[in-house]
Structure 1
Amino acid sequence: MTADDRQDGPVAPRDLRVSHAERDHVAALLDRHHAEGRLDGAELAERLARVSAAVTRADLNRTVADLPGALETVPTRDVLELTNIGGNLRRWGEWLVPPRVIVRSRFGNAHLDMRRARFVTGEVLIESDLTFGNLDVRLPKGATVDVTDARTKVGMVRDKRGASAKRGDPHVIVVGGVQWGNVTVR
């Protein structure tokens, strides 16, 4: 299908194109099912070939549809909203990062550790709205960040990764900011 063959309007989530990270995630699931005895070596090899050739989320989901816990293996959430009043808000370990993450905190810090996270898309927008507290974002190796539109009234915006000659995967854009506190990306 060419771009001219598509109809105008939003694309269904199952028809969205997949990233390398999504293919890697499904390949890891298949490896786990193989280790647990649900797939033999030949089945694993055949399914891994289909994962490698997958273009859409539907293609990936078909490779694991008959395995336990596989319903919508590649989730289709577009926005993750994290809200906190008092205390710390944290995401770490293996978690799914959709294309848009909204972080709201009134009296506390927000820590987003994306080093082991799975990214739905190659670009992520983090919208920050903190009153008293710090936003700390930790990115995986190979990622780049744009903090051009991140703001703070009393505090600093710090990009500890530094400028990159080319765009990384994933590329994270931080907008919004903090009233009293810092925005730090490392």
Structure 2
Amino acid sequence: MQFNEDRERAQEALTRAVGEGRLDLGEFTDLVGVVWATDDKTTLDRIIAEATPQAPPPATQHLAGTPAATPFAPHPVVPEASQQLSSFLGDVTRKGEWLVPERLSVRAILGDTYLDLRRATAASPVVTLHLDTFLGDIRIVVPPGVYVDVQVNSILGDSKVDTSEALPGAPRVVLTGTCILGDVKVTTKEVDDKPSFWWRWL
């Protein structure tokens, strides 16, 4: 289990390096192959170290457990809730009634990511979905009136956003991350037969 977590950390570091222009796609593909084929932890640690940029000086970092303020949380008093989903050679799917945490991180290699938020409960007025995918599409479905801010870096793929006008007080969804060799699509659809839990924020 721990070794798989090390592989996921290495793949995430490589994905970020590609998105930031510090690694080209050919090198990325080769190194990802090494990450998922090697049984040598030293090799994984070396790849993570080389792909991770130098940390900023301590003065520029936030204190542990104190997230940066947002317009919706000007006086944060607790750390943000976060969850992580990952898949290799498979899809990541969430639909129906489920809890969307304040921050959700998804890593998918050779698989698609599908998140249907129409019946979901938002844990915060602002939720951030950080999506890192390789050779897979990202599809997000939201109910009408939900604001979606797409900041995903798409490499060798298309990005299509089709959302309705945001309603005052509606949850805000922020999409970040990197999509390599896949498309990003955001669509708006009505809830079929009962009100969406998103509207408890109105």
- Normalised by the size of structure 1, how large is the TM-score? 0.55
Which one of 79, 83, 96 corresponds to residue 82 of structure 2?
79
Structure showing greater Rg: 1
Q: Deviation string for 1:17-72 (max 9, x for gaps)? A: xxxxxxxxxxxxxxxxxxxxxxxxxxxxxxxxxxxxxxxxxxxxxxxxxxxxxxxx
2:124 corresponds to which residue? 121
User: How far does the alpha carbon of each residue in 1:98-155 deviate from its partner, in whole angstroms, 9 at most, with x for none?
Assistant: 11010100110010001000011111111110011011111122211011x2111111
Find runs of 4+ consecutive structure 1 residues off by over 4 angstroms. 165-168
Q: For the aligned residues, what is the CA RMSD? A: 2.4
Q: Which residue of 2 aligns with 1:154?
A: 156
1:177 is aligned to: 178
Could you say if the C-alpha distance between residues 100 and 167 of structure 1 is closer, same or farther in structure 2, counting changes exceeding 3 Å?
farther
CA contact (8 A) 1:78 1:99 kept: yes
In structure 2, C-alpha distance between the alignment counterparts of 1:90 and 1:182, rounded to whole Å: 16
C-alpha separation in 1, matches of 2:163 and 2:144:
10
- Give the alignment's TM-score, normalised by structure 2: 0.51
Segments of structure 1 that go 5 or more residues without pairing to the other structure are 1-8, 12-75
Indicate yes or no: 2:99 matched with 1:96: yes
Identity over aligned pairs, percent: 31
Q: 2:44 is matched with which residue?
A: none
- Structure 2: 5+ residue stretches without partners: 1-63, 67-78, 188-202
